Amino acid sequence: MILGHTIALDPTQDQACHLRRACGTARFAYNWGLAEWRRMHNAGEKPSANTIKRRWNAFRKSQLPWTYDVTKCASGQAILDLGTAFNNFFRDCKKPKRQRKFRYPRFKRKSLNESFDIWADQFDLDWDKVRIPKLGWVRTRENVRLCGVIMGATVSFSGGRWFLSVQVDAISERQPAPQGTVCGVDLGSRTLATIAGTDSEADAESVSGPKPRRRLLGRIKRLQRRISLQKHRAKKLGIKASRRQYCRQLRLSKLHARLANIRKDAAHKLTSDLTRRFETIVIEDLNVSGMAKNHSLAGAVLDCGFHEIRRQFQYKAAMHGGRIVIANRFFPSTQVCCKCGCLTGPKGREALHIERWVCAECGAEHNRDANAAINLRSLGLAKPELTCGDMAPLPACVSIPASTVDEPQTETVLTFEHI
């Protein structure tokens, strides 16, 4: 399994300057390749990453001596990436419009988040340093903790810091999770996750998320307002952005990085803990983009980082030899009573605030999230044949309204019940 290990770098000022130049070279090569690709296409030729790379090498030899100041991987990999971008785009063109993910490659612009790649045979790692070609040894904050074959690395600048991300084809040394253990995880915005490892509601654990957005939003808004005002002024006067403006943008990018780090930390703690303890984990397939369309929910929903949690669950379960079962988007985990199986629970948008409810059929009192987690767990127990990442089919008693299949808009209304 290929895993990335991101390590903070500690470059000196001169070294940071060199790294920035390498990022710039990578960007230049990408843009040059894209322009060349378009030119070849318009001239009726058949461009490919290899022909572009050959032309780039000939062109830089005669015209661009400064590209030799930095490692050849920076520009070489950028052009290979351009080829991948075009391949993805052309492959997507054959799919129906709604399933497409990739757009036509666009020119890159100078930004505060940049990177370049280094090939595996071009760099060396020592205990607390890395040797970058044409630069020399740069200090790192820690050593690579994964065992396996090193596939390559990316040097990137984000949130005001330099990072080295090493891709390793790792050998998993993790302990397998205890056999036969199943848990249901109900993800929500009020409590980040409610975990049911047994059939009893009293045993359900709840993990409250950090909600960093609520805390940092004021500062982000203020900075963004200032930056946009300044941009507007500069445009009106026809001047370049000032040094102070650059610092402000850097401060904003640091704030965003902090937000992301807080989110990632919570997600890693949750997923590591659960994949260690349970062999099978059942989660819901939440329609996050649909829920984010509702303005009153969007912030709270996006603050949880559900997508990241699901991604981490999947690769960590594979590392521990476990599996993740994904419940269908229309599985009514909140509405089913876990005692009698009747659809008597809170339903619809109006019932979003209900935390406790009593089943009208059997009279059992339920906690909304714990009940949902138990239902998800039973789904995992009932379907031992599903493998990691499989979507569980809907039970026969649940039917999707015909209208929701055709119209994606009504789908969003249905999924509000999960939060």
The stretch among 132-140, 200-208, 233-241, 339-347 that binds Zn ion (CB under 5 A) is 339-347
Q: How far is the CB of 185 from Zn ion (least distance, A)?
A: 22
Which is nearer to Zn ion, 337 or 373 (by Cβ)?
337
Applying the rule CB under 5 A, the residues between 16 and 55 that interact with Zn ion are none
**Interface region with Zn ion, contact rule CB under 5 A, candidates 47-55, 157-165, 251-259, 332-340:** 332-340
- Closer to Zn ion by Cβ: residue 128 or 361: 361
By CB under 5 A, residue 138 contacts Zn ion: no
Rounded to the nearest whole angstrom, what is the least distance from the CB of residue 355 to Zn ion in the complex? 17
SS (H, E, C) the chain: CEEEEEEEEECCHHHHHHHHHHHHHHHHHHHHHHHHHHHHHHCCCCCCHHHHHHHHHHHHHHHCHHHHHCCHHHHHHHHHHHHHHHHHHHHHHCCCHHHCCCCCCCCCCCCCCEEEEEEHHHCEECCCEEEECCCEEEEECCCCCCCEEEEEEEEEEECCEEEEEEEEEECCCCCCCCCCCEEEEEECCCCCEEEECCCCHHHCEEECCCCHHHHHHHHHHHHHHHHHHHHHHHHHHCCCCCHHHHHHHHHHHHHHHHHHHHHHHHHHHHHHHHHHHCCEEEEECCCHHHHCCCHHHHHHHHCCCHHHHHHHHHHHHHHCCCEEEEECCCCCCCCECCCCCCECCCCCHHHCCCCEEECCCCCCEEEHHHHHHHHHHHHHHHCCCCCCCEEECCCCCCCCCHHHHHCHHHHHHHHHHHC
Contact segment (CB under 5 A) with Zn ion among 72-80, 307-315, 351-359, 405-413 equals 351-359
Question: Shortest distance, CB of residue 416 to Zn ion, whole angstroms?
Answer: 22
Tell me if 129 contacts Zn ion by CB under 5 A: no
Cα gap 344→331, rounded to integer Å: 14
Please pick, from the candidates 93, 229, 362, 400, the single residue that binds Zn ion as defined by CB under 5 A.
362
Q: By CB under 5 A, is residue 340 in contact with Zn ion?
A: yes
Q: Which of 45, 199, 361, 407 binds Zn ion (CB under 5 A)?
A: 361
Name which position in 183, 337, 370, 373 contacts Zn ion (CB under 5 A).
337
Of the candidate spans 78-86, 112-120, 309-317, 354-362, the one that interacts with Zn ion by CB under 5 A turns out to be 354-362
Name the segment binding Zn ion (CB under 5 A); options: 33-41, 89-97, 338-346, 395-403. 338-346
Provide the minimum distance between the beta carbon of 7 and Zn ion in the complex, in angstroms, as a whole number.
52
Give the phi and the psi of residue 179 in degrees, each rounded to 5: -70, 140
Smallest distance from Zn ion to CB 344, Å: 6
Does the protein bind Zn ion through residue 339 (CB under 5 A)?
yes
Regarding 372 and contact with Zn ion (CB under 5 A), the answer is no
CA pair distance 114, 108, nearest whole angstrom? 10
Asked if 130 is part of the footprint of Zn ion (rule: CB under 5 A), the reply reads no
Shortest distance (Å) from residue 371 CB to Zn ion:
10
Q: Does 360 bind Zn ion (CB under 5 A)?
A: no
* Shortest reach from residue 394's CB to Zn ion, in Å: 20
Stretch that binds Zn ion, among 21-29, 40-48, 216-224, 336-344 (CB under 5 A): 336-344
Q: How far is the CB of 366 from Zn ion (least distance, A)?
A: 8
User: From residue 337, how far is each of 129, 325, 383 by CA, in Å?
Assistant: 57, 21, 19
Q: For Zn ion, what does the binding mask look like between residues 286 and 325, x meaning CB under 5 A?
A: ----------------------------------------
Rounded to a whole number of angstroms, the minimum distance from the CB of residue 376 to Zn ion is 17
- The contact set with Zn ion (CB under 5 A) reads 337, 339-340, 359, 361-362
